[in-house]
Amino acid sequence: MKKYKHKITGKVFIETDFCNPEAPSEKYYKLDSVARNFYLEKEFIVGSNDYEEVKEEPNYLITSFTMKGIGAHRPINADGTYGYTFPFITLKEMLEEGHDIYSVKNSKGEEFTIGEVIGIFGVKFKIDKFEIIRNVIMVYFSDGNNCILEDIEKIKVKEAIYTTTDGVDIQECDNIKLHILIKEGFSFELKEYVYITSFSKEDVEVANRYLTFTSEENRDKYIKENQRKPIFVSADNVEFFESHLGGDYSLFSVLPKANWQENRYRLNDCIKFPKKEWLHFHTKESRQEYIDNNKPKFSLKEIESCYPSPTNSPLFTTFIANLKKLGK
């Protein structure tokens, strides 16, 4: 609606959509300060030298657009046009071509962008769209609500007082669930999770003693990526790492397929020139225990002579039959 100001009195009148059936061509006006449904009076005739049209300047500034069909952003230039390179596009052209508003500044100079989370009376909303309606910027949110630009405010972000191992910033008074991990050298010890209400600076001192994660998935991923991996594992399940390569470390080996031949091999040789049929043990005792438990060395007669029960019992007969099956 157009506005007109009386040159002498300074009163501002606003054009209305009121229509007098007896004179449909006449326009009616009201004082700009009165209520919308106030009785309308015919105050003056447009064109009188006593009035001048009031040109209202918008109380916002569109700082960038998202180009329709392209998705690229076009920021505002110093001269009020938009784009990075020639030909630059005017505001009117941007709006007429249907490009989407990406960011705007309000009357305070605060800038808001699509996707930003803002506050309205302490409640958070995510901006989904901007639209100009009657020279006012309307803000639409992802949950379906909307309001005018001047009603939204920037959310003040508090400075983080602690950052977890998986990179999550924690602010003072936050409620947070932390999964604890203790690292000693290249090994890890799992601890139960803790739930902290109203996180404080005292909690920071305790948390700094551990590795902390906001989820079990992040904790387990960290362990997998940072746990030291062995370069060789002996037959008795002893792990060897790169640090063992520096010394002249030798293993106790045995070859079951060649009459249980025994030998000593250096760790470096076992890695560089692997002997697949050989078994390598960390200690001589471990090798001997394996040989005693796996090397065939007793005849059926020798085993029979050691059997404590009568040799004519059903249990003995079954026992000998099973031994014969193993020998085949």
**CA 96 to CA 109: how far, in whole Å?**
25
Is 251 within 8 Å of 280 (Cβ atoms)? yes
CB 266: neighbour CB atoms within 10 A? 15
Token pair for 135: 């020279």
What integer pLDDT is reported at residue 25 of this predicted model? 62
What integer pLDDT is reported at residue 37 of this predicted model? 43
What integer pLDDT is reported at residue 84 of this predicted model? 85
Read off the DSSP letter of residue 154.
Answer: P
Alpha helices (H) in 157-283, listed in sequence order: 201-207, 216-226, 267-272
What integer pLDDT is reported at residue 309 of this predicted model? 66
What integer pLDDT is reported at residue 38 of this predicted model? 43
Alpha helices (H) in 118-215, listed in sequence order: 201-207
CB 267: neighbour CB atoms within 10 A? 19
In the three-class reduction of DSSP (H, G, I as helix; E, B as strand; rest coil), residue 12 is classed as strand
What integer pLDDT is reported at residue 30 of this predicted model? 64
**CA 129 to CA 118: how far, in whole Å?**
13
Is 307 within 8 Å of 319 (Cβ atoms)? yes
On the 0-12 / 13-18 / 19+ scale of CB atoms within 10 A, 9 is exposed
Tens of pLDDT along the chain (328 residues)?
Answer: 667 777 777 777 666 665 666 666 666 666 555 544 444 445 554 556 777 777 767 789 999 999 988 888 899 999 999 988 888 999 999 999 999 999 999 988 899 999 998 888 768 889 999 999 878 899 999 989 999 898 888 876 677 899 999 999 898 888 899 999 887 765 677 777 899 988 998 999 999 999 999 999 999 888 888 877 888 889 998 888 877 777 678 899 999 877 899 999 988 888 888 888 899 999 999 999 999 888 887 777 777 777 776 777 787 788 778 877 776 5
What integer pLDDT is reported at residue 165 of this predicted model? 92
